[in-house]
Every structure is written in structure tokens, then in C-alpha cells.
Amino acid sequence: MATMVTLDQEQLKQDLIDTGRWIDGNRWCPATSGNLSAWLDAEQFLITVSGKGKGELTPDDLMTVDASGNPVNTPKRPSAETLLHSLIYRRFPQARYVFHTHSIYGTLISRVIWSGEIVFRNYELQKAFAGIDTHEVALKVPVFGNSQDMVALAQEVDTHLDSVQSCQAFILAGHGLYTWGSTVKETRRHIEALEFLLECEYKSMLLLK
Ligand SMILES: [Zn+2]
């Protein structure tokens, strides 16, 4: 049984390493920003250590934290944003991966729409999100003011989630986006679709000026 767990962890680490390279290739986590995590069980998850370039992750750059985001059996330091990963795993029991990027379009748009929500309508690609099967349903992505106080920010996100029926992603203004999924493939699809939609919205704003 112990061997199984080890093998699974190796695969999860490889998923995060491969995803980090893919994200870095798209320049969605510049200058060591962002963090990637994978669920281990109800009590712990793997997350990238603070301050590592996402394109050059090694298994050593992934640490285990408990459900509250505290390091488990390691002197390594997790990112302060680990708390938001904890919150997502707690609020969305089907989530197995959480990716947080600092992309250009997510940053730019949320400097204009810096609170409330970004609403995507009539894009076929909205269907890339789990649970959405038509472009006719608006995809709403909440935007929260950025903060260095992660406890307060996590509380704000938590309270917001109480008021909505579904949520696939959220954005921190001028900072970056969070999305999650039940498989690595699904979570990568969510990131890629959001980046596409954000770029479309940004360019639409320029066109409509
Ligand atoms: Zn961040």
C-alpha cells in the first residue's frame, strides 16, 4: 500500500512539473510567480515551494502541506497563497488540482474591472469549463481586490462562495487567477480557456474604444 502512495505522489509531482513547464512556455507565471498544487487526500496536498521558476521545477520544489496549508515534515516554506489553495480544496471536494497564474491579460483586465465580476457571454469556449455545456449561459468569474493579508482575502473569497451556485475560477485584481479541476487535463483546459477568454475581452475593449 505504501508503494502505491509513493507512486501516486511521483505521478502527481510529475503532473505539476510538466504543467509548470507548459505554463512557463506560455509566460503565465513570470519571475517565479504563481503556484501549483495537487490534492493528496482530505488532510494534505502538494504545492510548489515559494520563489521557484515554474519552468524549472524539480520534485524537490514540491512540498506537502496539511489541509490548512501548514508544512508537513519539511523545513521548506510554502507560498503565503497556500491558504487560497486550502480554501478551494475545502469548498470544492471534487478539486484535485489548483493552478494560480499571473498572466498578462488577467492582470490587465482586472486593473480595469477591479471588483465584482468579469462576465463572459456567447463565447463557444465557455464550454471548456466542467459543468458548462452551452455558450448561452454566462460564465461569471469573480474579481477580488488584491491583498497581502491572505487570511482576510481567503475569508472574503469564502464568503463570496456562499452566495453563488457555482464558481470555476476567480481573479485577484492586478495579480492573477485561480482555477481548479478534477484532473490535471481538466485544470489545464480551464487555465487555457480563461487565458483565451481574457485575451478576447481585452482586445474587445480596445476594439470598442
Ligand atoms: Zn499570486
How many structural domains comprise the chain? 1
* Mean pLDDT in residue range 194-202: 94
Q: What is the pLDDT of residues 60-72, one digit of tens each?
A: 999 999 999 999 9
* Mean pLDDT in residue range 174-193: 96
Cα(126) to ligand 1 centroid in Å equals 24
The predicted pLDDT at position 7 comes to 56
Question: Strand 62-66 vs strand 35-41: parallel, antiparallel, or unpaired?
Answer: unpaired
Beta carbons of 41 and 65 less than 8 angstroms apart: no
Residue 89's nearest CA partner among 41, 123, 126, 50 is: 41
Phi, psi of 71 (to 5 degrees): -60, 145
Cα(3) to ligand 1 centroid in Å equals 34
Domain extent, residue 31, equals 2-207
Does pTM surpass 0.85?
yes
Cα(85) to ligand 1 centroid in Å equals 11
* Mean pLDDT in residue range 115-121: 90
What are the distances in angstroms from CA 183 to CA 20, 32, 80, 85, 97?
Answer: 15, 24, 24, 15, 7
Mean pLDDT of the chain: 91
Q: What is the pLDDT of residues 2-49, one digit of tens each?
A: 445 555 899 999 999 999 999 999 999 999 999 999 999 999 999 999
Cα(208) to ligand 1 centroid in Å equals 30
The predicted pLDDT at position 1 comes to 45
Taking the C-alpha atoms of residue 36 and residue 79, their distance in angstroms, rounded to an integer, is 10
Residue 130's Cβ-side half-sphere holds a number of Cα atoms within 13 Å equal to 20
Please determine, for residue 57, whether its predicted confidence score (pLDDT) is greater than 70: yes
What are the distances in angstroms from CA 34 to CA 37, 103, 130, 177?
Answer: 10, 9, 23, 9
Q: pLDDT class for 81, splitting at 50, 70, 90?
A: very high
SS (H, E, C) 134-158: CCCCCEEEEEECCCCCHHHHHHHHH
Taking the C-alpha atoms of residue 47 and residue 65, their distance in angstroms, rounded to an integer, is 7
Question: Strand 97-101 vs strand 116-120: parallel, antiparallel, or unpaired?
Answer: unpaired
The predicted pLDDT at position 103 comes to 93
* Mean pLDDT in residue range 119-133: 85
Cα(97) to ligand 1 centroid in Å equals 16
Tell me the CATH number at 86. 3.40.225.10
Q: pLDDT class for 137, splitting at 50, 70, 90?
A: confident
